[in-house]
Amino acid sequence: MNLYDLHSNPRELYKHVDAMTKMPGVVYEVLWSQYKNLSLAQRNEMERVIAKSAKYSYLYANRVKNERFPAGEAAIAKDPWYALRYARYLSQNLEEEFPEGEAAIAKDPWCAVDYAISVIYGRFHEGEAAIASQPDTAYRYAVDIIDGRWPMGEAAIRKDAAIYQEYKEFLRSIG
85-116 pLDDT, tens digit per residue, is 999 999 999 999 999 999 999 999 999 999 99
Whole-structure pTM value: 0.85
- Nearest to residue 166, comparing CAs of 144, 143, 145? 143
Q: Tell me the chain's radius of gyration from C-alpha atoms.
A: 22
Q: What's the average model confidence in pLDDT over 6-34?
A: 68
- Nearest to residue 69, comparing CAs of 53, 104, 80? 53
Where does the chain have alpha helices with state H?
3-6, 10-20, 24-34, 40-50, 54-59, 73-76, 80-89, 102-107, 109-118, 128-131, 135-141, 151-157, 161-174
The predicted pLDDT at position 175 comes to 87
* Beta carbons of 145 and 116 less than 8 angstroms apart: yes
Work out the pLDDT band at 1, boundaries 50, 70, 90: very low
Kindly report the number of other CB atoms within 10 A of residue 84's CB atom. 25
Higher pLDDT, 19 or 38: 38
* pLDDT > 80? residue 7: no
Q: Cα–chain-centroid distance for residue 23?
A: 19
- The DSSP 8-state label assigned to residue 125 in this structure reads G
- AA letter at 61: A
- AA letter at 63: R
The predicted pLDDT at position 13 comes to 44
* pLDDT > 50? residue 14: no
